[in-house]
Structure 1
Amino acid sequence: MLYAGLTANVFAKNVPVVIQTPSGSIKGQHNTNAGVNEFRGIQYATADRFEPPVPVSNWAGILAATKFGSNCPQAARFNLTEESLEENCLYLNVTTPDNAKPDDKLPVLVWIHGGGFVGGGSNLYRLDRIAREANVVVVSLNYRTGLFGFMPHPAIDVGINGNLGLEDQRAALRWVQKNIASFGGDPDNVTLAGESAGTGLICLHLASPEAVRGAFHKAILISGACLQQIPTLEQALADPIWEAVSHNPKDSNRKFRCPVPGDKDYSDQASLACLKNQSVSDLLQAQTYEAGNRLLSFVPVTGNKTVPRSFHEAVGSGNIMKVPMIMGSATHELRLYIAYDVLGDNGTKTEYPVTIDNVNQYYLPAFYGTDAAIHQKILQRYFGDATNPMNLNGATLGSMLSSYNPYVGINNCLHLQTANTLNGVAGMPPIYQFEFSDPNALVLGVGLAPGKDPGFELGAVHSSILNYLFPNFSNTMAINAPDLPPASDELASQMIAYISRFMRGDEDFSGFPAQWNAYDGSQASPASENVLLFRPNEIKLFNAYGGLSPDSTAGHQCAFWNSMYPN
């Protein structure tokens, strides 16, 4: 009978497991198939609309933590992601190796999801692979996005105005500090990791050491360059998207109208009270309309208590979190964005085939500004002839944008420049730079909806790396992307092994496919040979920057781009 009971437990997928934390008892599940313990949908805070998060009180009894909580309010995008209308959304999830015990002091990874600052959520990610293979505790969390998390308004408390999503993350990090030891994690060894907008938010935590010191001790920045400029609170209020959200006469579908300056019934407080009274769905409809007409419409700001300074200022003054970092990006990040435009899966639902007319009238102005002379130089450089470009298609255009563009901080040269600049800060610990470059990375069913083939080669595009860390990541709650091909799956395990070694503070990568040397690029000598290439059967160090002369066509041609955009 004892043997039969043990056998039943071994083959059961989920077996209840209860732990005691300082906040209260939590019941999760032991996932025997995955070899982990999973605790899902733990509420760490509550928040009224446009108000700061309030930590949850300790609870009596046993909290059931077996299902993901709802993602924060967001519209469906790209014919792929899913809508959420739930404002009670400040949940986190914890996954541990199945043999983890309280006070084991395992390294802790806290994952900040991406989503363009307007979407995403923690219930899109399976945490079991990293927890099991790296033998670490993994936490994922929700935070408010879009106008609910990143829309400055003159009636919101100036100290947090425009940065409520960041305040949510800090509330979650405080919860981790309080409770993670009960899951077997080490509160003194927390790695904050994120991708895309998640990385952009980590950059702002790094620039605010007085607010986050002690909350994390290492950082992993994927597909986001910290040197990308974002507005100050003052600039954001001077160009107020909240007014357009409140009333835009060009939006024929607007279902509400809140007072804006110039209206006889306007006051800051009346405006905010009106916005608080609108339905989530109506606000999201307004947000979607405005986001379709502005690039990165809803973003965090600097210049308040949450983020006192820009990343540029933090680096220049040395007033920055000095923690070891992994930084990197995918080789062809923005081919994904070209695919959205070619397919019409963009904010305006407009198809933009890659023709020379569309390149001149749409793509180049959107990504490189309005200087026609610069456009001519770029086309001449990459396609041989500005008027009759050779080999111009979605793949080649996307690769060019991925090397550098000044308006979207997802590009390789700006990532390298960020690391070069950080290396100039006195006392900065090691930075490990990488480039993800699997030509067979899955995109359909991951970054693009299944069957949405744009008709050109995709490869290692934006967000395709996520499936290597979080199995079957599909940008949906179904978590049903195809399994990785065998060579890619092996690469995923190798990447996780490197991350595990980094989280443990070990700089010795002997026995690995390649020694990962600390990145030694600098402002004066930017062409470092110490970028680790992650490609199946070809993990090696290389120079991603290229040559130092603007004439060099090596690497990502960063010297050329620096000559075009020296600031």
Structure 2
Amino acid sequence: MLQSALVVLVAGLGWAVASPLQERAPPTVVLDDATVTGVSSGSVSKFLGIPFAQPPTGNLRFQLPQTIPAYNASFSATAFGPSCPQQAIELPLPSGLAAETLDYLTNTIYNLVTPAAEDCLTLNIVTPADATSDSKLPVVVWIFGGGFELGGTSTYDGGVIVDKAISLDVPAVYVSMNYRVSAFGFLASQEVKDAGVGNLGLQDQRLALYWVQKYISAFGGDPTKVTIWGESAGAISVALQMVTNGGNPDGLFRAAFMESGSPIPVGDITHGQPYYDALVYETGCSTSSDTLQCLREVPYETLLSAVNQSPGIFAYQSLVLAWLPRVDGVFLTEDPQYLVQQGSVADIPFISGDCDDEGTLFSFSTLNITTDTQLEEYIQTYWLPNATSTMIQELMEYYPADIADGSPFDTGDLNALSPQFKRLAAFQGDAVFQAPRRLFLQAQSGKQNLWSYVSKRLKAVPFLGSFHGSDILNVYGGDDMASYLVRFVTNLDPNVGSGSELYWPQYTTDEPNMLEFLDGLIPQALTQDTYRAEAMAYLTNVTLANPL
């Protein structure tokens, strides 16, 4: 769901590097009674690793994030803080992959080396070097992806975004925050529900947004002009921030930008009970009368080792994640897609788009599925355990066995790693990304200003196509999507003041316009969001009735 650690395309392939340091005094800001010293970097100033919550350690492990007291001691903010504890990943690399495909995978996922610790709730701010507390610049808040299992802020150079905004004369302030992931942030069970401590990662994000409201003006930002922006799990997080609290954003943001993530169909937090019980067993907490408190008290390494035993995003069940947001009765009162249908959505302009081949990366772990019967059993077992055989059969008709119909789309009979690979990739990409996006946009059409896109860049990468996470290059590479982004952040319209980029029309039910990002001499084109219409409509109905 989720960004799949491909965030490191940016760092691993060298697409976003910091500007050269210039000789000038280090920037400072005053927060409460503390002077905070950052670092100068070209045309921007960076303040890194600022704590925004109490460390979620000791008895605060598996607790709601706690606000910090007023800052009363000066400190340096010149280096990223550690990421929150990361779940181990293991990507299956099938034989026969093309060198280009291996390059994208081994230089990205396997290049992810992120220092991690439980004391991780910090955020980072990048501002134009000449920003002052009176600048009142718009603010863009980045929420990273990583399947709700991994990821951090240090992979992303916010200086690229601020430099792009400066160059287009729409200067802005960039913020990114760490949040708890995997079991540390999305523990799920009856015990968790009873304690009211579900969806801690989303609660971390929310507290960071309140911090922005309180302090961003010191960095030159305007707290009334905040856009939240994310990719994959980060984009799903953005969407869930939009549907929580009855759709009331509480003044925390005025716009949203989502790359490969929308309100997803998830069920009650007790659906995670098997994973919780396994964690309790692995940590030796089974005999405790209060297993949740026991999990708070076990040594960090013991807990982390147990977490790593749970299935990850590249395990056989793939996008049927062990740890993800679920209906906890507090942050999420119902299935997010039901909340959308009920009108519990922040009344703000937003952009939501996908890559064309969202499911390919997540279908490497299931290459042993080679027959129709095996695929039906897989979907019945992991995706739709309560669906009837008739429903499964009908779903298979909408996602046929013909290799030419599968993903990577529009590649004919090429890229068939196994007889069912492209078929399963098409299903998974639609189930988690494309269909939820379309449901979200169509539900909000006519209620607020909407834009949508599909990225078809890197389509020629063998087996992956325009794979999940590839659109990050469009923004953190400082390319055209970055231009649309920063104009949207400033003007609430990606087109105002546009230069060479194509005019991006709004999305409505009657005119479901999409901007295509393409390789080649024509970088953008327009299309309609009508592809696989019947298949996605059926898939949406099935997943609404059978949430994860």
What TM-score results when the alignment is normalised by the length of structure 2? Answer: 0.78
AA aligned to 1:558 is: A
Instruction: Please report the RMSD computed on the Cα atoms of aligned residues, expressed in angstroms.
Output: 3.3
Asked whether the equivalents of residues 107 and 137 of structure 1 are also in contact (C-alpha less than 8 Å), the reply is yes
Q: What is the SS of the residue equivalent to 2:309?
A: helix
**Alignment partners' CA distance in 2, 1:154 and 1:364:** 26
**Alignment partners' CA distance in 2, 1:565 and 1:205:** 21
Change (3 A) 1:535 1:402: farther
1:164 and 2:215 matched: no
- 2:230 corresponds to which residue? 194
**Alignment partners' CA distance in 1, 2:126 and 2:375:** 48
**Alignment partners' CA distance in 1, 2:30 and 2:184:** 33
Q: 1:437 aligns with which of 438, 456, 467?
A: 456
- 2:87 corresponds to which residue? 75
1:494 and 2:480 matched: yes
Counterparts of residues 497-536 of structure 1 (less than 5 Å): 497-507=483-493, 508-509=495-496, 511-521=499-509, 525=510, 528-536=511-519
Change (3 A) 1:119 1:286: same
Task: Give 1:565 deviation, angstroms.
Answer: 5.8
Task: Give 1:273 deviation, angstroms.
Answer: 2.5
**1:61-104 CA distances to partner (integer Å, 9 max, x unpaired)?**
42200010011111332462346551111000001122222221
Asked whether the equivalents of residues 404 and 414 of structure 1 are also in contact (C-alpha less than 8 Å), the reply is no
Asked whether the equivalents of residues 335 and 397 of structure 1 are also in contact (C-alpha less than 8 Å), the reply is no
Task: Give 1:121 deviation, angstroms.
Answer: 0.9
- 1:284 corresponds to which residue? 304
Asked whether the equivalents of residues 130 and 470 of structure 1 are also in contact (C-alpha less than 8 Å), the reply is yes
- 2:65 corresponds to which residue? 53
- 2:526 corresponds to which residue? 542
- 2:40 corresponds to which residue? 30
Task: Give 1:206 deviation, angstroms.
Answer: 1.0
- 1:346 corresponds to which residue? none
AA aligned to 2:238 is: I
Asked whether the equivalents of residues 398 and 534 of structure 2 are also in contact (C-alpha less than 8 Å), the reply is no
1:315 and 2:340 matched: yes
- 1:236 corresponds to which residue? 271
Task: Give 1:501 deviation, angstroms.
Answer: 1.6
Q: 2:352 aligns with which of 327, 335, 355?
A: 327
AA aligned to 2:337 is: H
**1:517-556 CA distances to partner (integer Å, 9 max, x unpaired)?**
11012xxx5xx4510111244344533433xxxxxxxxx3
**Alignment partners' CA distance in 2, 1:42 and 1:52:** 19
- 2:442 corresponds to which residue? 420
Q: 1:219 aligns with which of 224, 238, 256?
A: 256
Change (3 A) 1:542 1:382: farther
Task: Give 1:221 deviation, angstroms.
Answer: 1.1
Task: Give 1:375 deviation, angstroms.
Answer: 6.5
Counterparts of residues 337-356 of structure 1 (less than 5 Å): 337-339=362-364, 341=365, 352=367, 355-356=370-371
- 1:553 corresponds to which residue? none
Task: Give 1:290 deviation, angstroms.
Answer: 2.2
Higher radius of gyration, 1 or 2: 1
Asked whether the equivalents of residues 209 and 320 of structure 1 are also in contact (C-alpha less than 8 Å), the reply is no
Asked whether the equivalents of residues 335 and 394 of structure 1 are also in contact (C-alpha less than 8 Å), the reply is no
Q: What is the SS of the residue equivalent to 1:194?
A: strand
**1:449-506 CA distances to partner (integer Å, 9 max, x unpaired)?**
xxxxxxx3423211122233235xxxxxxxxxxxxxxxxxxxx432111112211225
What TM-score results when the alignment is normalised by the length of structure 1? Answer: 0.75
Alignment coverage as a number of residue pairs = 477
Specify every segment of 5 or more residues in structure 2 that has no aligned partner in the other structure, as ranges.
1-19, 92-109, 166-170, 407-411, 543-548
Deviates more, 1:399-408 or 1:496-505: 399-408
**1:239-285 CA distances to partner (integer Å, 9 max, x unpaired)?**
442112111xxxxxx4x3212xxxxx553xx2122212222222222
- 1:16 corresponds to which residue? 26
Asked whether the equivalents of residues 48 and 78 of structure 2 are also in contact (C-alpha less than 8 Å), the reply is yes
Q: 2:124 aligns with which of 93, 99, 104?
A: 93
- 2:9 corresponds to which residue? none
Asked whether the equivalents of residues 400 and 423 of structure 2 are also in contact (C-alpha less than 8 Å), the reply is no
Q: 2:476 aligns with which of 470, 480, 483?
A: 470
**Alignment partners' CA distance in 2, 1:115 and 1:218:** 22
**1:338-387 CA distances to partner (integer Å, 9 max, x unpaired)?**
34x2xxxxxxxxx736755897378766787584634652564633799x
1:393 and 2:416 matched: yes
Task: Give 1:11 deviation, angstroms.
Answer: 6.2
Q: What is the SS of the residue equivalent to 1:419?
A: helix
Task: Give 1:27 deviation, angstroms.
Answer: 0.4
**Alignment partners' CA distance in 2, 1:358 and 1:29:** 58
**Alignment partners' CA distance in 1, 2:418 and 2:38:** 45
Asked whether the equivalents of residues 193 and 328 of structure 2 are also in contact (C-alpha less than 8 Å), the reply is no
**Alignment partners' CA distance in 2, 1:542 and 1:332:** 18
Task: Give 1:159 deviation, angstroms.
Answer: 7.0
AA aligned to 1:333 is: E
**Alignment partners' CA distance in 1, 2:452 and 2:404:** 31
Q: What is the SS of the residue equivalent to 1:290?
A: coil
AA aligned to 2:367 is: Y
Task: Give 1:392 deviation, angstroms.
Answer: 6.5
Change (3 A) 1:209 1:377: same
